[in-house]
Chain A
């Protein structure tokens, strides 16, 4: 048996606790049956679904995150990092072992819901939804482990212990809810598929992806499976980094490219007033930009590494390609792709829609650059600054900027703080200037000897004294 799995089972899932966990769904289904008496066949399916969501989508990701965060708290993480286990063994040992009890609960709930749904509709149909549920669970659980590893790396760079709360998991849950809402809305409004009593009726308008037609829900389910595999791979790569192994830098670029191609594949609506290439470029650029934002937020704010990267770029210090490859920040590659795609898109728009549209595209690029500069400046300024805090400041910059611009600059004022079409070109100039200022600010922050959270706390105490 995988030693990491065995240790987790020893600690978290001895037989007595597993039996106790299994008793929970049994009791709940018993109560549901006693109350409903079989009057509503869907009651068991709904109860199973709710239990599954609680166990597999909330409890299991928290346990997966705790599988590494608790090691740091218990000061056993360095002991684990020097073990001889392969990164994959450590990854799956934690994923399976630390979540044994949540999955015991989720599995039993899913099994009963599956049997009930199968008896109501068909077992093929029930199996489809069970697979979707398992894919969703794996996605969340692997992401929980990955987020825990990211928090460890970030907190180490900040010279502090990881926090008890996990904003990363909260953001992931929000993203998942948003994704579900989008799929639900599209299923009902655009593709006109109907879901009643677990039975999906085909929509009037199927999904078209790279010119081929697919059933929307099946497509979403397959996508979910791919995302779950990606999330597991993500956790494995982060585990490799923790074990001091180097990850091939091209894998991240490959992932971003594939994600961009995936997004670009969704064909535009027939009544949309944009060209096909324009539409695909915009979608691909949006995904690349999103990856750049994620990269800017999840990578440790390691000033030493950033300085080495800058030094490797400096021809006066001798251009060092090897160091450049290994020290390039995560944000750089998707940002470069975003620049290429948006400049290309601007050229297409200039040809098809005129200069103002092209300038708006370039203004969007300028504001993306500004945002990334602001994120870098904020994160390198004070190690350990929370992601929520950084995102809130960025959101305030847009909202307050637009309000202040409107107040003092009239109708054209907001163009100084958000990319707008009118007045033509103003957003591009403003965004460019703000991006330059933000990156000068970030560069200054990186060059300064940064202090850990303890230094800041000490300074506060001295000041208070």
Chain B
């Protein structure tokens, strides 16, 4: 039963993609760096090239971490919605299969947070 209700009831889908003015939600998470308390949420255009995530979004929002200067994104390992993922900076989010509310997690080899604490 999708909901216990007194009559047939349809909930309003508050976060359908149409509500985001042409954007879709994408969640990014840098593994082993939990000083960032949670994955980050962004409204991004589906046509945006993945390179904008690599070149603009990640440095802007993760760049203050002392590990960031040692990050080599070419070496990073990625998953997209729990599947292994090879990002292509030239391709758009849409073409890479990054959908509304997709989760992108990345691991940067050798970097395990402040003094190796996963923070």
A and B bound? no
**A residues within 8 Å of B by Cβ?**
none
**B residues within 8 Å of A by Cβ?**
none
